[in-house]
């Protein structure tokens, strides 16, 4: 059996996501929304990136889908996840938050459109995510809205952001894990679960998606922290060790580099194990889990 070709898979799936997002951005432009607002939302939405969350969502939907299922559900779910992820970046970059001027080599939203518009573009992306998910007749759309809202809300992504900015943050592993489980983990878990829901998977697939999503989400964050310590400036696109220099709260800083690597590998093994019954040996989900650690997504 030939080894699964992850590079081709990723390129294909990322192009599919770009096209799905573009479709929805164009629908937005003809919705009666003010053109300047749509431009600002689209500026951040179409700024590239690896599209991890929509790719995971589509991969799960494709894996569990019965061949007869033809529905825009998984595309809507994938795009809704990226709308949410994008809004979180736009708001995180604001002067009152991280105050970043650049993202992915381009000026951040508020540097181009002003702070008021960046707040509103973020609000718009957040809200439109639910409009996308809810606009069709399928009853599962309510469940998709619920998954996304809980993952992105006060006990999910927004809560994680608050934990990350807390002044009295304790430098302890359990706090670090909890923070990341909320800040990035909840949405990655939701991406996997929403893929199963959109693809019509059963309850066992849903549980496996959750185990996979939790493990991949944590591995992703550990790998991110490790890469910051070990990568060269060229590989990273930002000064290496920037997190450590800024006194940031990272896995290598709390448990050391070797233990961080071991933890990441352990999470990947758990993720691969969780999806074997769904896709068999050597499928895209296992390859994606390994990729997240071996070469940061």
**Is residue 123 close enough to count as binding a second copy by CB under 8 A?**
yes
Q: 42 or 208, CB closer to a second copy?
A: 42
Closer residue to a second copy in complex, CB, 190/268: 190
Q: Which of 5, 15, 26, 36 binds a second copy (CB under 8 A)?
A: 36
Q: Taking CB under 8 A as the rule, does residue 207 contact a second copy? A: no
| Candidate ranges 27-35, 53-61, 225-233, 254-262; the one touching a second copy (CB under 8 A) | 27-35
Choosing from 46, 69, 154, 173, the residue that interacts with a second copy (CB under 8 A) is: 154
**Does position 277 bind a second copy by CB under 8 A?**
no
Task: Tell whether the torsion through CA atoms of 182, 185, 189 and 191 is positive or negative.
Answer: positive
Cα distance between residue 118 and residue 130, in whole Å: 19
Closest by CA position to 28, among listed 115, 124, 118:
124
In the set 22, 47, 112, 119, which binds a second copy (CB under 8 A)? 119
Non-local CB neighbours of 67 within 8 Å, separated by 6+ positions: none
What's the angle, vertex CA 38, arms to CA 36 and CA 43, rounded to 5?
A: 95
What residues contact 125, with CB distance under 8 A and at least 6 apart? 41, 44, 45, 83, 84, 86, 87, 90
* C-beta of residue 125 within 8 angstroms of C-beta of residue 83: yes
Sign of CA dihedral 169, 156, 270, 265: negative
Residue number with CB closer to a second copy (160 or 213) = 160
Q: Which of residues 134-153 bind a second copy (CB under 8 A)?
A: 134-135, 138-143, 145-146, 148-150, 152-153
Nearest to 183 by CA among 152, 214, 212, 210: 152
Comparison of 119 and 211: residue with beta carbon closer to a second copy: 119
State the residues that interact with a second copy by CB under 8 A.
28, 31-34, 36-38, 41, 87, 91, 94-97, 114-117, 119-120, 122-124, 126-131, 133-135, 138-143, 145-146, 148-150, 152-156, 158-159, 161-163, 165-166, 182
């Amino acid at each position: 059996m030939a080894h699964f070709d992850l590079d081709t898979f990723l390129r294909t799936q990322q192009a599919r996501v770009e096209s799905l997002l573009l479709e929805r951005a164009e629908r937005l432009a003809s919705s009666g929304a003010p053109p300047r607002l749509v431009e600002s939302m689209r500026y951040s939405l179409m700024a590239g990136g690896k599209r991890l969350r929509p790719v995971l969502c589509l991969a799960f939907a494709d894996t569990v889908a019965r061949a007869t299922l033809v529905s825009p559900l998984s595309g809507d779910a994938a795009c809704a996840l990226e709308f949410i992820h994008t809004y979180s970046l736009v708001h995180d970059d604001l002067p009152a938050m991280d105050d970043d001027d650049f993202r992915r080599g381009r000026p951040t939203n508020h540097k181009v459109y002003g702070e008021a518009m960046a707040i509103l573009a973020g609000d718009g992306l957040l809200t439109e995510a639910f409009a996308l998910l809810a606009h069709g007749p399928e009853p599962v759309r309510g469940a998709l809205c619920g998954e996304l809202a809980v993952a992105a809300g006060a006990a999910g992504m927004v809560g994680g952001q608050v934990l990350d900015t807390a002044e009295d943050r304790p430098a302890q592993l359990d706090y670090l894990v909890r923070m990341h489980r909320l800040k990035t983990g909840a949405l990655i878990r939701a991406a996997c679960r929403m893929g199963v829901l959109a693809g019509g998977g059963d309850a066992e697939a849903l549980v496996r998606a959750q185990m996979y999503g939790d493990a991949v989400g944590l591995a992703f964050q550990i790998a991110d922290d490790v890469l910051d310590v070990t990568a060269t400036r060229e590989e990273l696109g930002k000064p290496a060790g920037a997190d450590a220099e800024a006194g940031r709260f990272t896995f290598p800083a709390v448990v050391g580099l070797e233990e961080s690597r071991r933890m990441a590998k352990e999470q990947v093994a758990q993720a691969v194990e969780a999806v074997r019954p769904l896709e068999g040996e050597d499928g895209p989900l296992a390859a994606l889990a390994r990729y997240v650690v071996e070469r940061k997504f």
